[in-house]
Amino acid sequence: MLSEGGTDSKIMNFNVADVRDAYNLAEQHIKLVEHHEGLAFPPVNELRYAGQHLCRALVETDDGVKEKHYQDVLGHCRRASYDALEILLSYYLEKCIKFQDDYRQVIITDVLQSYLDDRKVLNEIKQKSMSRDRENRGQYFAEVQQDGEIICSISERWENARPELNKQVEKERRKSRQWVVGVIVAIIIGLLAFFR
């Protein structure tokens, strides 16, 4: 059994601190997703499985089986982090796509000078995410985490531009209404002049 005062935290080749750190990291990533998306089932399920293996390991007497359970705990915690980061990446990509759709009728670069560069970066990340090597989990995790930070930064920058872009949208609507009213008035004046 593992305890503070008793046994060493090292069981065979397994370090309990690694499990704690992986579990805490996965939990942090899941909290990020919950903040933006609501409950994220795949990462939560992975942590649930990790907890099941941890419980089994704590009561197991065979060191080999115990080691296997600890390795499973670590694997489930890591998969929970991967899943949470993938969900977060998708969330921010969708948010950026919605932004582009919301302002498709406006010249965005008048307000957001970085917009064209940001779009280029987003397209590169989309391409990378489709061709990522999912077998090398360490590298994959690092890339997804880095891309997530970049997309989050772009999304925040774009969201901060919304108030000014909304002003432009309203300005364009007023121009359109004025034009329509002008055309209607011109037609009415033309008809009145024609029928006099």
pLDDT tens sequence across 89-131: 888 888 999 999 999 888 999 999 999 999 999 999 888 877 7
Mean pLDDT of 131-157: 84
* Cβ atoms 143, 128 nearer than 8 A: yes
List beta partners, residue 10: 15
Q: Is residue 14's pLDDT more than 70?
A: no
Residue 142 lies in a domain: yes
Q: What's the pLDDT band for 139 if we cut at 50, 70, 90?
A: confident
Cβ within 8 Å of residue 27, ≥6 positions away = 47
Q: How far apart are CA 121 and CA 148, in angstroms?
A: 12
pTM reported for the whole predicted model: 0.65
Dig out the tokens for 78 from the structure.
């890591």
Domain count, the chain: 1
Tokens 């009728």 correspond to 105
Q: Is residue 8's pLDDT more than 50?
A: no
pLDDT confidence of residue 3: 36
Q: What's the pLDDT band for 39 if we cut at 50, 70, 90?
A: low
The CA R_g of the chain, rounded to the nearest whole Å, is 27
Buried residues in 22-56 as b, exposed as e (16+ CB within 10 A): bbebbbebbebbeeeeeebeebbebbebbeebbeb
The C-alpha angle 174, 177, 181, rounded to 5 degrees, equals 135
- Average per-residue pLDDT for the chain: 81
Residue 2 lies in a domain: no
Nearest to 103 by CA among 119, 88, 90: 119
* Cβ atoms 9, 2 nearer than 8 A: yes
- What domain range is 96 assigned to? 10-102+109-195
pLDDT confidence of residue 1: 32
pLDDT confidence of residue 192: 77
pLDDT confidence of residue 40: 60
Residue 26 lies in a domain: yes
Residue 144 lies in a domain: yes
Residue 3 lies in a domain: no
pLDDT confidence of residue 99: 94
The share of the chain scoring above pLDDT 70, in percent, equals 88
For the ranges 20-29, 31-40, 73-82, the lowest mean pLDDT is seen at 31-40
* Cβ atoms 26, 77 nearer than 8 A: yes
Helix axes 63-102, 41-59, angle to 10 degrees: 170
Residue 4 lies in a domain: no
Mean pLDDT of 8-23: 65
pLDDT tens sequence across 61-87: 898 998 999 899 999 988 888 888 888
pLDDT confidence of residue 172: 77
Helix axes 63-102, 16-37, angle to 10 degrees: 20
Residue 181 lies in a domain: yes
pLDDT confidence of residue 38: 57
Q: What's the pLDDT band for 7 if we cut at 50, 70, 90?
A: very low
